[in-house]
Structure 1
């Protein structure tokens, strides 16, 4: 397969490389947070405090992060948030290596790092169209989105090696270094500054403007709705421990493989996107991908053989990556530059808040119906919604993003 044209863009290639490294560091640090809290307390309930801190920061601060991503120079904002996260990681590393860490030290550092990320993510998304032509946006997101999955695979594994060698403190040192690298990368990017709105509005009015834009753009809110449907009702990760232990009887090792398979599938799906966007409408790709994701979730729920479950997990990861990549690109294409930060923040609340809500919904459903029935019914929902959207509305079905021209050499 030839090198994607978007990787011949100097600024995007530098940015992508820096983001991948930073995400590996971040995922490694989260794994180290969880390990360290358990090491300090032996309590799984207290380990859950790390996730709670992240959820609070995400839901409370995401809208504000989007507002400032539309008011400030996005590159400078990213440098500032990466710098804050660097200081947090370096501070936690120093405290940990000194043997003075407590549970609340780790939880507060997780809260602060996630708070920085909530300002970071909308700006990261909104910065991409400034580096990449519209017709290359799908390619750009096809590379950026799977970097998260790569980080999920590599980050915790590398953190395990560092913990074995130098304890959690070594992971936090590495995380701080990755933040520093991205700060330097951002400094050398050639990105035009944001043309800021000269009219200063209150934070609340700025947020309302973003919400109004989404509400009046059917293709944007319908794409977000498809994302929420898949992540809430197809939230399979919370049920994987039960499937591994009670349905497939494969133990901890099998659970680890089952957990990693969707991320591996997402890497495969990102390769498919490059081919699909040249032959099919973007909206149809989203609908097919979302429907296929739901069916793969059903297949996972019904699997009784471990090999079949792995195949279903790979397929759901691939389908999710295909649909998510096009959704992200489409939302960026359809949003004016002066609103991209706020719209990206709203989308972030769907794409990252959806799984958190889904974990609760599917957990309760599994308690009432059992994990097999709950995941089967849940997987049918995004499939049914995708079919209904395709039949009843042309908004998503006929939607297209600009297609890249074939490379001449």
Structure 2
């Protein structure tokens, strides 16, 4: 409210000759504050919707293929352990490539990178599908295709992570990341039963689905008109090795990242190995593929519901407390399954155990994106992705190895105990408890990143 409006004018001395009200001049000199434009809905964000469409299709296709891969490998080798080894070899490519891929994603046009890598991935899956259809697919051919697909996927992931930051306003990052969790949940929801059905039709069908998914990512990303990264001249001026060192130094300078990276590797190995052990035990005991798919369906259902709840949870609950609560629920679910060891308990427990995981992923990923410079987003995504990639080759080996050597009972008890112990260690990480809600993320990050900046 201006001074002219709040201060009454003095009595007039004569018509047509009246003094200006006090403060009128100042009020007229103050510019009007422009209204802050409302941020449009993500559903009206064309670039975001294109990226999400392509990545959703890719997630579904990859989910169908990866569900079928252990079954295909087991049918080719007749060995649970060798089937786990094939899956493990397929993960090594991403592990070896992810750090260089993050550097590349910050130095080149991200649109071209995603289109090129996704096209190569589609071609690789086509070769596997054709070989399976002709009856000439071998276990090592399948392992090489998985290896190559994981390599190109290592380039797609950091490029799309940086692209999201380019097309989504910061206030909407938690919602967008929660939607990404929902996307993966839908893929998991459908991958099990649909993958089992397609596998029953023919070994080549789920592999062909992966090719379609990769092709969709290439097409949708090419259709995005908005630049997916800023000027890359500064990034190219830095040598690649030094650029990687900068990314590693930045991540290491944030105490919560430094503390959680290793612990989350163990979490991924323990829970992923538990799921692999359950699936392979069901395969070994002759359970129908469609029923095995229902186990993955239950996981997808829990993640999907959790993704719907995630934006509200992230907005209202401190990220640190939410992380500890979610992982505790995950550990309790693992203990219940290790104790009961029945198909019905697996299906009933898994959706509850993973219910809060999408909120944790959205919260921590949103926090990381909010405090990281735009030009370092690709490197951040690749470095943080190591928690899953380091675990990737070990998950099938640990799950299949424990199952083969000790049986399902001991395997589940060991993995549930490992998961519970790691969650207890995470609960003692002080920097984690200091992460608040999105409104405070910038302030929370100042002590951690000030020195690095």
The answer to whether TM tops 0.5 is yes
Match of 2:333 in 1: 296
**How far 1:333 moved relative to its partner?**
1.8
**How far 1:239 moved relative to its partner?**
3.7
**How far 1:20 moved relative to its partner?**
1.0
- Which of 255, 272, 275 aligns to 1:237? It is 275
Bigger drift between 104-113 and 138-147 goes to: 104-113
Q: Is the 8 A contact 1:29 1:172 kept in 2?
A: yes
**How far 1:232 moved relative to its partner?**
3.5
- Which of 200, 224, 237 aligns to 1:189? It is 224
Q: Is the 8 A contact 2:329 2:354 kept in 1?
A: no
1:334-390 CA distances to partner (integer Å, 9 max, x unpaired)? Answer: 22121111121111110232354456567777868923542442232243124323x
Structure 1: unaligned runs, 5 residues or longer: 405-409
Structure 2: unaligned runs, 5 residues or longer: 1-39, 442-453
Match of 1:378 in 2: 418
**How far 1:78 moved relative to its partner?**
0.5
SS at match of 2:355: helix
Q: Is the 8 A contact 1:28 1:175 kept in 2?
A: yes
**How far 1:140 moved relative to its partner?**
0.9
Separation of aligned partners in 1, 2:399 and 2:195: 29
Bigger drift between 372-381 and 263-272 goes to: 372-381
Q: Is the 8 A contact 1:243 1:371 kept in 2?
A: no
Match of 2:34 in 1: none
Distance 1:160 1:370, change over 3 A: closer
Q: Is the 8 A contact 2:193 2:297 kept in 1?
A: no
Distance 1:306 1:169, change over 3 A: closer
**How far 1:69 moved relative to its partner?**
0.8
**How far 1:226 moved relative to its partner?**
5.1
Distance 1:336 1:176, change over 3 A: same
- Which of 63, 70, 73 aligns to 1:27? It is 63
Q: Is the 8 A contact 2:302 2:351 kept in 1?
A: yes
**How far 1:72 moved relative to its partner?**
0.9
Q: Does 1:210 align with 2:247?
A: yes
Q: Does 1:224 align with 2:261?
A: yes
Separation of aligned partners in 2, 1:78 and 1:169: 25
**How far 1:399 moved relative to its partner?**
3.1
Q: Does 1:336 align with 2:373?
A: yes
Bigger drift between 89-98 and 120-129 goes to: 89-98
Separation of aligned partners in 2, 1:104 and 1:305: 33
- Which of 417, 427, 439 aligns to 1:387? It is 427
SS at match of 2:230: coil
**How far 1:137 moved relative to its partner?**
1.0
Q: Is the 8 A contact 2:261 2:387 kept in 1?
A: yes
- Which of 66, 76, 86 aligns to 1:50? It is 86
Q: Is the 8 A contact 1:162 1:168 kept in 2?
A: yes
CA RMSD of aligned residues (A): 3.3
Distance 1:403 1:371, change over 3 A: same
Q: Which has the larger radius of gyration?
A: 2
Q: Does 1:397 align with 2:437?
A: no
**How far 1:81 moved relative to its partner?**
0.4
Matched pairs, number:
395
Q: Is the 8 A contact 1:226 1:290 kept in 2?
A: no
Separation of aligned partners in 1, 2:136 and 2:127: 11
